[in-house]
Amino acid sequence: MNLLDALKVRDSQGKQFVPDVRAANPIGFRGLPVINDAPCQQGCTECSDCCPTTAIQLQNFSLDLGRCVWCDECVRVCPKDKITFTAGYRTASCTRDGLLVHEGRGLGPVEASEAIRKIFGRSLKLRSVSAGGCNGCELEINAMANVNFDCGRYGIDIVASPRHADGLILSGPISANMAEALELCYEGMPDPKFVIAVGACAISGGVFEHSPVLDRAFLGRFEPDLYVAGCPPHPLSIVNGILDLMGHADGSW
């Protein structure tokens, strides 16, 4: 290897990491939606009619981020600008119901898990399992560990074996053909352990919700401790959700 060539690469690389993942600014990102409290046009059902994943409820207007695929269709058909997508990337919740966005009210904060903080401290080793994931969430989970988002600096690592893992990151709607392998992987992890569901497919089935060849029984038995909404979620969404769960007060490391 030519040392000078290597130094040129190092020089061109500079500093690539996002200094503070708590205060990043992903310009242009279609992220956290805001629902304004202006009334809908009388009898209008345009947004819920066009939603591909029935994420919108008109009565007591709400948008379910566990279903939303951020296709932007509802925004385009609405005569009243009821829904606006912002660049906000804090799209995680520790409960399934917490993913509902209502008028004038966004997502609640992810509550730090006392158990996770106590048992795992500031080191969290995660095993990724894709069960029907389209490689969108998988690429973003990978990106979480790259030089830009660098989750390793917070003690969060993706590990190669369930034997080394504290938690399981699930992506994909859980295809029936993958259900058994997913169970085996979870069984292979030492106790105590927990599940993180990443992306609309893992959380609700997403665009595949009504497919007869899914088997989502796993989630009935092992309720996730963290849901990260998105299609796919931004790496910042995943990192921030996990940091919240770990009880990190700020983005320092």
Partner 1 sequence: MSHPNVLLQPLSELETLDFGGFAQRIEDHFANGRRLLSLFGSPSSDPADSTPELHAVFVDREQGLIHFRGRRQGTQHYLSLTSEFPVLHCFEREIHEQYGLAMPGHPWLKPIRFEGTNLKRMNDYPFYKLKGKEVHEVGVGPIHAGVIEPGHFRFMCYGETVQHLEIHLGYQHRGAEALLRKTAPRKLPPLIESIAGDTAVGYALAHCRAWEALCGLSVPPEVEAIRCLGLELERVAMHLVGLSGLATDIAFLPGSSTYGRLRTSVINLSMRLCGSRFGRSWFRPGELRFPFNQSHKVDVRKTVQQVQTDIAIINNLFQKSKTVQHRLCTTGTVPTPLAQEIGLVGMAGRASGLPCDLRNELRGGAYAQRPIPLVIESTGDCWARGLIRIHEIDTSLNWIMQLLDTIPEVEAEPPPKAEPRPNCVAVSFEEGWRGEVMHSIQTDASGNIAHYKVQDPSLRNWFGLAQSVKNNAIYDFPICNKSFDLSYCGNDL
Contact positions toward partner 1, by CB under 8 A? 1-2, 5-6, 8-10, 12-13, 16, 26-30, 50-53, 69-73, 76, 85, 128-143, 146-148, 158, 160-161, 172-173, 175-178, 180-181, 185, 201, 206-208, 210-214, 231-232, 234
Task: Please state the closest distance from residue 113 (CB atom) to partner 1, in A.
Answer: 23
CA distance 140 to 8: 28
With beta carbons less than 8 A apart as the criterion, state whether 111 and 246 touch: no
Given the complex with partner 1, which of 8 and 102 has the nearer CB atom?
8
Q: Which amino acid is at 27?
A: I
145 contact partners, CB below 8 Å, separation of at least 6: 151, 152, 157, 158
Which secondary-structure segment (H or E) carries 4? helix 3-13
> Looking at the DSSP assignment, which residues form a beta bridge with residue 156?
124
Given the complex with partner 1, which of 23 and 249 has the nearer CB atom?
23
Task: Please state the closest distance from residue 39 (CB atom) to partner 1, in A.
Answer: 24
Given the complex with partner 1, which of 193 and 234 has the nearer CB atom?
234
Given the complex with partner 1, which of 35 and 98 has the nearer CB atom?
35
Q: How far apart are the first and last CA of the chain?
A: 33
The strand ranges marked E within the chain are 33-35, 56-57, 62-64, 83-85, 92-93, 100-102, 124-130, 156-158, 167-171, 194-198, 226-228
With beta carbons less than 8 A apart as the criterion, state whether 168 and 221 touch: no
CA distance 91 to 27: 16
Given the complex with partner 1, which of 92 and 98 has the nearer CB atom?
92
Task: Please state the closest distance from residue 232 (CB atom) to partner 1, in A.
Answer: 7
Given the complex with partner 1, which of 112 and 139 has the nearer CB atom?
139
Read off the tokens for 100. Answer: 């509902």
Task: Please state the closest distance from residue 174 (CB atom) to partner 1, in A.
Answer: 9
Task: Please state the closest distance from residue 118 (CB atom) to partner 1, in A.
Answer: 27
Helix (H/G/I), strand (E/B), else coil: 49: helix
CA distance 86 to 70: 11
Task: Please state the closest distance from residue 138 (CB atom) to partner 1, in A.
Answer: 5
Task: Please state the closest distance from residue 152 (CB atom) to partner 1, in A.
Answer: 12
Given the complex with partner 1, which of 98 and 201 has the nearer CB atom?
201
